Amino acid sequence: MGRFWDPFRLLTLIAIVWTLVLIGVGAYVRLSNAGLSCPGWPACYGHLTVPTRTGVIQRVDRLHPDHPLVPRKAMKEMFHRYLAGGLGLVILAIAVLGWSRARRTLGRPRYFPLLILLLVLLQAALGMWTVTMELEPIIVLAHLIGAFLIFDGLLLLWAMDTHALHWKEEVPSFVGTMDRGSRTDPA
């Protein structure tokens, strides 16, 4: 039981669940037509939080007449961004832990967490392009595929670390009876 609560494994498991939730939230944002409710990135109309005061909303609407601010939709979009940012930090911690742990222990994944971190950075760029290119279908598709690649990568990382995957090949029984210089039939 102690090995399950290893910080690397626990963070990886948290990231797996977090990624799945984030994919669901992303689908909800898109299907509720809130995907373009904050046309800038990463801020929402230049603010880190969604503007809710009447005066600020009126000023934003004057500055962006083609994208009026709908706070309820913008909150959905920003929640998705905050959730994604938090996941990025968790995956950064996984990459750092994975790198330092692999240096001390043989057989631990060393480069794979860094690959997942690179995927997260690419995913952030795709998220930005999804907004700035106003839901260009190929970008939206790439963003969704990126999310599933991160999810799959985290699952694989967890399986490799917990040894849930065994990469042993089955060796035929006659292999041990073969002499180096001769061929014998396994009869």
State pTM to two decimals: 0.80
Domain boundaries, the chain: 7-166
**Quick one: DSSP state of residue 4?**
T
HSE-CB of 117 using CA atoms within 13 angstroms: 16
Where is pLDDT greater, at 65 or 24? 24
- Give the pLDDT confidence score for residue 14 in this predicted structure: 97
- Give the pLDDT confidence score for residue 67 in this predicted structure: 85
What size, in residues, is the chain?
187
Rounded Cα distance between 108 and 100, Å, is 10
DSSP H helix total and E strand total for the chain: 5, 0
Contact 160, 109 (CB under 8 A): yes
Answer whether residue 30 shows pLDDT above 70: yes
pLDDT of 136-181, one tens digit each? Answer: 999 999 999 999 999 999 999 998 888 766 555 555 555 555 555 5
pLDDT of 88-141, one tens digit each? Answer: 999 999 999 998 887 666 556 778 999 999 999 999 999 999 999 999 999 999
- Give the pLDDT confidence score for residue 4 in this predicted structure: 60
Contact 11, 69 (CB under 8 A): no
Query: Count of CB atoms within 10 A of residue 155's CB?
Result: 17
Answer whether residue 87 shows pLDDT above 90: yes
Enumerate the active-site residues.
77
Helix (H) / strand (E) containing 183: none
3 state SS of 118: helix
Answer whether residue 1 shows pLDDT above 50: no
Rounded Cα distance between 79 and 14, Å, is 18
